[in-house]
Structures are given as C-alpha cells and as structure tokens.
Structure 1
Amino acid sequence: MFLAGLAGAVIVAAGGFWLLSSDGNASGMRPDDGEFVALGETIYAEQCASCHGRDRKGETNWREPLATGGMPAPPHDESGHTWHHPGQLLFDYTKHGGQALIGDRGKSNMPPFGDVLSDDEIWAVLSYIKSTWPTEIRTMHDQRNGS
C-alpha cells in the first residue's frame, strides 16, 4: 500500500515538473518558438483580428461598457490587461469563452473557440500575442505566472 502511494506521489510530481518545464509556468505558451509564433500569428489574423484588431489594439473605448452590458474587445498589446492574467486563464477564456468563466458576475462577448481551434492552436495564438510584448511586459507576465 505504501509503495502504491509513493508511486502515485512520484507520478504527480513528475506531471507537475513536465507542466512547469515547458516555459517556466503551467502554460503552453512558447513566445520564443518562431514556428509556433508564426502559426499563432496566422490564426490570430484569421480568428481574432476582427475584434481585437490586426495591430492588437482592441476596439475603440474598450474600457467602456457596451449598451448590451458586455465590454468591447480589449487590446492584446502592452496597453491592455492581457499580460496581467496567467497563461492558463487566458487559455481557458479563449477555449471556453468569457461567459463560461464570468458566469453570473457579468456579461462577456468573447466567444468560445474550443470547437474551432485545437489546444495547440490556442496556445500558438497566445504565444504570438506574448511574443509582441516588450521585454519588461513579458518579464512581468512571467513573474505573474510564477516563472
């Protein structure tokens, strides 16, 4: 029984190490992987730019609530708040949509992309976005992610 428990603990520890070893945090972001970033840039142009802007500057007056109760699409450059959030939260928000995460606390216009993009494609988009941030913003994002 003790050996089974020990084996389980080793498996959990190894899994945690694998998750953390990819980029220093428990996310699939790889902003220094040129091929992955290029894939993300292509997908961003096809799936995200119509709301968040080709230049990642978001919609006009993105801090002001819409008449419908939601918020305009925020920028994904350093002027926005994307970098304030952990990679896993950004992934979940993209995959499941904003409303799934916000619940009754508000209204989100962010649609889910889990049926449109694979997990790797979502991470590629997030990697592309992060790759465009200035070094100091990337460093702060890394620190917020525990790396």
Structure 2
Amino acid sequence: MRGAVLGAAVMVLAGAGVWLAAGDGRGGYVPDLARGAAIYAEACASCHGADLEGEPDWRMRGPDGRLPAPPHDETGHTWHHADRVLLDITMRGTAAVVGRGYQSNMPGFGETYSEAELRDVLEWIKTQWPERERAHQAQVTAQDETGR
C-alpha cells in the first residue's frame, strides 16, 4: 500500500514538473499553439501573410505615410523585441505603444482576444522561426525581464 501511495505521489509530482517546465515561468502559463495558429490565421494573416511573410515593400511607407505590415518570419524584426513589447503591441496596437503621434494600421486586439490568447499567437509565431532567431529573442526577453 505504501509503495502505491509513493508511486502515485511521484507520478503527480512528475506531472507537475512537466506542466511547470512547459510553461514560461509566469504563473504556470502553458501556450496553446493550436489556438495561437488559429487566431493568427483569423486575425493576423490578412496583413502579415499566411506564411508570416508580411506585405510587399514593408520597409517603404505607403501614400498614407504608414509602413505596411512587416513579416513575422526571420526576415522581419519581430524577433528583435521582448515578449513584453510584442504583447503590448498586439494588445494595444503599434500607435498606442510607440506614441508621439506615430500612425499605424496595426490595431490592438486586447478587446477581441484575451491576453492568454494573444500570448498563444506570439508563442506560435516563435515556433516558426529558426533556432538562431528564437535564441536571440529569448535572450532579449530575459534581459528585458531582468532590467538589463
């Protein structure tokens, strides 16, 4: 009997360790990548591309003075930003985050999707990057979180 109880306790603790290891260290959050991919297809792909390729000439301002939607693949600059910044832009929109009269077509999605849903989108995007970009972005995020 004692062995069965000990075995069950080990299984529970092992399962908890897997759950915590899968999270990002912030309250046990575990990304739902399928949900992130679905939301990306629904809300982001029309501007940023089904393959994260962005709009053509995304570095050149259009007639309205605004920049086209950038790619979210390794050719863009998404991976240069910390998670906190990416989530803030996704929730509030680029103009709200940049301020100083900056104009952008990127809306905020914080009233349409929950923070967890938008984090899922960002986590899914990261899975599409090569290892070098994922590692760089993780380092930028870690530095941002520690204030360095």
> Does the pair score TM above 0.5?
yes
Question: SS where residue 48 of structure 1 aligns?
Answer: helix
Q: 1:48 to 1:114 in 2, by over 3 A?
A: same
Q: 1:78 to 1:27 in 2, by over 3 A?
A: farther
Indicate the percent of aligned positions where both proteins have the same amino acid.
Answer: 46
Q: Give 2:85's match in structure 1, choosing from 86, 89, 97.
A: 89
User: Is the CA contact (8 Å cut-off) linking 1:63 and 1:72 kept in structure 2?
Assistant: yes
Unmatched segments (≥5 aa) in structure 2: 1-21, 144-148
Structure 1 residue 29: Cα displacement: 8.2
CA distance, structure 1, for counterparts of residue 124 and residue 49 of structure 2: 14
Partner of residue 24, structure 2: 23
1:72 and 2:68 correspond? yes
User: Is the CA contact (8 Å cut-off) linking 2:95 and 2:101 kept in structure 1?
Assistant: no
Q: Give 1:102's match in structure 2, choosing from 98, 101, 120.
A: 98
Structure 1 residue 28: Cα displacement: 9.1
TM-score (norm 1): 0.76
Question: SS where residue 60 of structure 1 aligns?
Answer: coil
Partner of residue 127, structure 2: 131
Q: Alignment RMSD, CA only? A: 2.2
- How many residue pairs match? The answer is 122
Unmatched segments (≥5 aa) in structure 1: 1-20
Partner of residue 9, structure 2: none
Which of 1 and 2 has higher RCO (CA within 8 Å, sep 6+)? 1
Name which one, 1 or 2, has greater alpha-carbon Rg: 2
